[in-house]
Amino acid sequence: MEDMPQTDIREFDYELELVSSGICQLKRISQAFDDAIVKEERRQTIANYYCLMAQNFQSARRSLKPSQALRRQAKKLHQALGT
């Protein structure tokens, strides 16, 4: 840089500052995208969890219905036999 005229050095420094500023802006934009992606993934994960829990609840209710019917029948039989 010793051979460069002072105006060229100033222009180079100015352009270097622009590049540095652009890199900083890209970093902020990249971080904003990362934050948005994490937020959306978290929201989607929670929605999937609730969906699975609802499916498990419905499945559990379906599996309980026959056993509840059996208990009612056993209770009626027990009452009929008087024991």
> Residue 83: what pLDDT?
62
The pLDDT of residue 1 is 56
Question: Among residues of the chain, what percentage have pLDDT more than 70?
Answer: 93
Q: What is the number of structural domains in the chain? A: 1
Q: Which residue has the higher pLDDT, 74 or 29?
A: 29
Q: Between the CA of residue 5 and those of 11, 15, 17, 19, what are the distances in Å? A: 10, 15, 18, 21
Q: Check whether 38 has a pLDDT greater than 90.
A: yes
Whole-number Å distance between alpha carbons of 14 and 54: 60
Whether residue 65 is predicted with pLDDT greater than 90 in this model: the reply is no
| pTM (two decimals) | 0.53
Identify the domain containing residue 63 by its residue range. Answer: 1-83
> Which pair of structure tokens corresponds to residue 5?
């005229």
Q: What is the mean pLDDT of residues 45-71?
A: 83
DSSP state of 4: S
